[in-house]
A and B are shown apart, each in its own frame.
Chain A
């Protein structure tokens, strides 16, 4: 038994404890707070599993931005009336508990009976990595071997934003997103929003740049950039752009457009959609990553900012 075993056990117990807290907490905002802590512990677990790329994404996106989203939503929702707060009958809860225990037992059995030796694509990924010019195998998978997944994902993000905007009442269309600007910010928050973004933007660009060879990449970098933008919006230093702004819409789609454009060019230049010509893989991957970072950052920020609202800032405080 190595020295790290107690650490792993402690992390696992902490993770499960926080998960129980998220489910059992009485108030929704407490559950959301628990979820943020849960996400940070989960990021540590990912580090222990050797997936630093995933750990960065989990800490920034799974814990940070998702936590912010849920906290704001918990603050804006009306308190549930007692009739809605009633839990299902005891029999239903016991049945649900049994069902969930069966599901967990099934998954645990799968975990314990995983094939030995474990199947892996790591040698295949390593074999062709030099041809792509990137050193980080995860970036290689995201942008070379499985680029079509990443392309689909960048389009899913655009669709999610369209879906979110389409929830706006007719009267509010053309307005600015209002979910992040509900209360006047204190001076400490405004100060933080002036000091932190220059460093945050550097960190975001650094994460993008080192992602080619080390843990990091466009999603992690874009999340940090989006967080900086959201901080500035929450502090009231800048307002989110109106949804009819043409410049914003171009920023939202430019990543996917460049990705599709380079992918389509591959049909003629490299004989397949999303294939890169020899020797040009690295510059093309970097171009796609840079454009996607910009688009993903803008989309994440706009997803947090919510659907447009009518320009009556005092209405919601009545």
Chain B
């Protein structure tokens, strides 16, 4: 098995793992972490496409590589925005999850820093 196939299967497993965490974790921050796992799995799939496209003296096809770099930067920006949303949610409602059925702690008693 070539390294491209091996890490491609790895990327497929990462997407599945991340998806499971995204569905099953109640905490919003854990969902963000899981979503980042899905993202890195998808990037890895791009990586093996790049690796298989090695030609003309390059170690890999530069186009998917450039797309992954762009994707990493955008993923970071999206993560920063998502984290800020979660922190704001906790600040205003005391909740750390996304389930609207469960009321948060009252404003005065919560701890905002641990």
**Any chain B CB within 8 A of the CB of A125?**
yes
Find B3's partner among A48, A118, A138, A299 (CB 8 Å cutoff): A48
State A84–B96 Cα separation when bound (angstroms): 8
**Any chain B CB within 8 A of the CB of A247?**
no
**Any chain B CB within 8 A of the CB of A173?**
no
State A61–B69 Cα separation when bound (angstroms): 10
Contact, CB under 8 Å: A22 / B80: no
Find A54's partner among B16, B25, B65, B110 (CB 8 Å cutoff): B65
Residue of B nearest to A117 (CB): B52
A177 to chain B, nearest CB (A): 10
**Chain A residues with CB below 8 A from B61, complex form:** 120-122, 125
Find B4's partner among A49, A83, A87, A157 (CB 8 Å cutoff): A49
Contact, CB under 8 Å: A111 / B45: yes
**Chain A residues with CB below 8 A from B75, complex form:** 62, 66
A123 to chain B, nearest CB (A): 5
State A299–B29 Cα separation when bound (angstroms): 22
State A140–B36 Cα separation when bound (angstroms): 27
**Chain B residues with CB below 8 A from A119, complex form:** 53
Contacts A57-B69, A111-B5; A74 near B29 (Cβ below 8 A): yes
**Could you tell me which residues of chain A, from 138 to 152, have a CB within 8 Å of some CB in chain B?**
138, 140-142, 145-146, 149-150
Interface size, A (range): 35 or more
Find A84's partner among B27, B52, B63, B68 (CB 8 Å cutoff): B27
A146 to chain B, nearest CB (A): 6
Contact, CB under 8 Å: A164 / B5: no
**Chain B residues with CB below 8 A from A100, complex form:** 16-17, 19-20, 23
Using a CB–CB cutoff of 8 Å, the interface residues on chain A facing chain B are 4-5, 8-9, 12, 15-16, 19-20, 22-23, 28, 31-32, 35, 38-39, 42, 45-46, 48-54, 57-58, 61-62, 65-66, 69-70, 73-81, 83-88, 92-93, 96-97, 99-101, 103-105, 107-108, 110-112, 114, 118-123, 125-126, 137-138, 140-142, 145-146, 149-150, 153, 156-157, 160-161, 163-164, 167, 179, 182, 217, 219, 296, 299-300, 303-304, 306-307, 316-317
Using a CB–CB cutoff of 8 Å, the interface residues on chain B facing chain A are 3-21, 23-27, 29-30, 32-34, 36-37, 40, 43-45, 47-63, 65-70, 72-81, 83-88, 90, 94-97, 99, 102, 105, 110-114
* A-B residue pairs, 3 tightest by C-beta: A50-B59, A120-B53, A104-B16
